[in-house]
């Protein structure tokens, strides 16, 4: 019996694999390595002492998926696989809609063929768009500002409809806030292709000397120090949130949605300063223009996950900074050394 992690070699997938294996939940990984490396498997084995099966497949490919379901007894799926770069989605909307919707539909159809009922989906706080924080799960959705966000919104709708039509389906939608950090071993972490779009990998690449300086995208927002405020969550807390969600999905039919965040807003400047002081490294920065589509303040109300899943984020911003740096400094070129 195993849980299939699509996109299981990626940043959140690999950390969730570790959390599952450490909790004696067997996993099978499926990934096409479009934004990940098969080398992550050795690292997962080093951390957990277990080497899960890893299939090199595109999960849009139903035939390849069927082979996995035929070879393994898959009792549930956590669907991480998907394209996730906001700016790229504006340039390549068709690729985003095709890939993200198709992969989810393929997985759901093959699950149905094999009688597999539990499905946990990687959604995003981006579905809330521009609304006052803290965001509860009952806040309006569908105010996305880019195709990436719309794919998350549309897949949520597909899953709600699928669960309504099939009372045997057990679906959990997880709306992530801003996952950063790395496993405390420093053996696995975030390894973006090219120049990072997101704040923490940009900071760590400046700190390690690969990039010259950070550009802070605006300091005139209506926030305490003028820079953008987000709800950063340690990726191992997030991974443990998936385990809690799997437990919930096992016991509950229907479709339920949970925020996975800390409930605390942290500004860009606070993050840069915490990173420097915790790790004793300088992060040179300049203040630049606002980035198109950015919001001033986004953070979660995480109470529902605490009440119903019994899960809350435990790790601090200092932990996130320490672990992100530990990963980056030991692996300046990601899984290639
Ligand atoms: N930022 C900078 N400089 C950078 C990168 C980011 O100042 O080089 C700032 C942004 O302006 C923002 C904050 O750092 O204020 C966080 O930016 P990220 O790009 O790290 O994250 P976002 O909040 O923009 O987006 C993230 C995910 C999306 C997801 C969204 C959900 O990347 O996939 O959270 O709220 F949709």
Q: How many CB atoms lie within 10 A of CB 103?
A: 24
Please work out whether the CB of residue 152 comes within 6 Å of at least one atom of ligand 1. Answer: no
Which residues participate in catalysis according to the annotation? 148
Mean pLDDT of the chain: 97
Confidence of residue 146 (pLDDT cuts 50, 70, 90): very high
Please work out whether the CB of residue 16 comes within 6 Å of at least one atom of ligand 1. Answer: no
Task: State the pTM of this model.
Answer: 0.98
Name the CA radius of gyration of the chain, rounded. 19
Ligand 1 centre distance from Cα of residue 119 (Å): 27
Please work out whether the CB of residue 126 comes within 6 Å of at least one atom of ligand 1. Answer: yes
Please work out whether the CB of residue 230 comes within 6 Å of at least one atom of ligand 1. Answer: yes
Transcribe 82-93 into DSSP letters.
Answer: S---HHHHHH-H
Pocket probe for ligand 1: among 143, 148, 228, the residue whose CB has the most ligand atoms within 8 Å is 228
* C-alpha distances in Å from residue 299, one per residue of 9, 14, 71, 217, 242: 27, 25, 41, 18, 19
Ligand 1 centre distance from Cα of residue 322 (Å): 19
Ligand 1 centre distance from Cα of residue 63 (Å): 36
Of 286, 299, 271, residue with least CA distance to 219: 286
CA distance 82 to 104: 9
Q: What local confidence, expressed as pLDDT, does residue 300 receive?
A: 98
Please work out whether the CB of residue 117 comes within 6 Å of at least one atom of ligand 1. Answer: no
Residue nearest ligand 1's atom 6 by CA: 199
Q: What local confidence, expressed as pLDDT, does residue 290 receive?
A: 97
Strand partners of residue 297: 229
Residues 152-190: b if buried by 16+ CB within 10 A, e if exposed: bbbbbebbeebbeeeeebbbbbbbbbbbbbbbeebbbbb
Ligand 1 centre distance from Cα of residue 295 (Å): 9
> For residue 190, is pLDDT > 90?
yes
CA distance 327 to 201: 10
Q: Model confidence over 91-132: pLDDT tens digits?
A: 999 999 999 999 999 999 999 999 999 999 999 999 999 999
**And the tokens for 290?**
């606002």
CA distance 219 to 225: 7
Q: What local confidence, expressed as pLDDT, does residue 337 receive?
A: 72
> For residue 173, is pLDDT > 90?
yes
Residue nearest ligand 1's atom 29 by CA: 126
Residues 69, 72, 78, CA angle at the centre, nearest 5°? 65
Please work out whether the CB of residue 197 comes within 6 Å of at least one atom of ligand 1. Answer: yes
Transcribe 183-236 into DSSP letters.
Answer: -TTSSS----SSS--SHHHHHHHHHTTSSS-EEEE-S-SSSTTSS-EE-EEEHH
Of 43, 42, 32, residue with least CA distance to 8: 32
Residue nearest ligand 1's atom 19 by CA: 198
Q: Model confidence over 196-217: pLDDT tens digits?
A: 999 999 999 999 999 999 999 9
Please work out whether the CB of residue 202 comes within 6 Å of at least one atom of ligand 1. Answer: yes
Q: What local confidence, expressed as pLDDT, does residue 113 receive?
A: 98
**And the tokens for 75?**
């009792």
Please work out whether the CB of residue 133 comes within 6 Å of at least one atom of ligand 1. Answer: no
Pocket probe for ligand 1: among 268, 287, 293, the residue whose CB has the most ligand atoms within 8 Å is 268
Cβ-proximal residues to 27 (8 Å cutoff; 6+ apart), any chain = 2, 3, 4, 5, 8, 17, 20, 21, 52
CA distance 166 to 113: 13
Which atom in ligand 1 lies closest to the alpha carbon of residue 267?
A: 15
> For residue 232, is pLDDT > 80?
yes
Cβ-proximal residues to 272 (8 Å cutoff; 6+ apart), any chain = 203, 214, 216, 283, 285
CA distance 282 to 149: 34
């Amino acid at each position: 019996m195993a849980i299939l992690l699509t996109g299981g070699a990626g940043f959140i997938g690999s950390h969730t694999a570790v959390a599952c294996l450490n909790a004696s939940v067997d996993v099978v990984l499926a990934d096409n390595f479009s934004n990940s490396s098969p080398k992550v498997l050795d690292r997962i084995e080093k951390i957990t002492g277990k080497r899960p099966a890893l299939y090199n497949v595109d999960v849009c490919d139903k035939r390849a998926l069927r082979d996995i379901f035929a070879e393994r007894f898959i009792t549930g799926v956590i669907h991480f696989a998907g394209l996730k770069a906001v700016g790229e989605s504006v340039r390549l909307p068709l690729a985003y809609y095709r890939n993200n919707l198709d992969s989810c539909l393929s997985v759901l159809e093959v699950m149905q063929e094999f009688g597999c009922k539990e499905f946990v989906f990687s959604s995003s706080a981006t579905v809330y768009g521009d609304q006052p924080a803290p965001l509860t799960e009952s806040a309006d959705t569908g105010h996305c500002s880019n195709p990436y966000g719309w794919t998350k919104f549309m897949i949520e709708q597909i899953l709600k409809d699928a669960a309504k039509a099939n009372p045997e389906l057990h679906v959990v939608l997880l709306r992530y806030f801003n996952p950063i950090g790395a496993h405390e071993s420093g053996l696995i972490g975030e390894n973006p292709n090219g120049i990072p779009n997101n704040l923490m990998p940009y900071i760590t690449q400046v700190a390690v000397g690969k990039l010259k300086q950070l550009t802070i995208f605006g300091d005139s927002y209506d926030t305490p120090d003028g820079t953008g405020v987000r709800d950063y969550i340690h990726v191992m807390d997030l991974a443990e949130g998936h385990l809690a969600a799997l437990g919930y999905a096992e016991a509950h039919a229907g479709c339920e949605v949970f925020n996975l965040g800390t409930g605390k807003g942290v500004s860009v400047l606070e993050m840069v300063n915490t990173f420097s002081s915790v790790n004793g490294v300088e992060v040179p920065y300049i203040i630049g223009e606002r980035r198109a589509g950015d919001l001033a303040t986004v953070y979660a109300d995480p109470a529902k996950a605490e009440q119903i899943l019994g899960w809350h984020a435990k790790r601090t911003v200092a932990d996130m900074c320490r672990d992100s740096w530990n990963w980056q400094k030991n692996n300046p070129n990601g899984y290639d050394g």
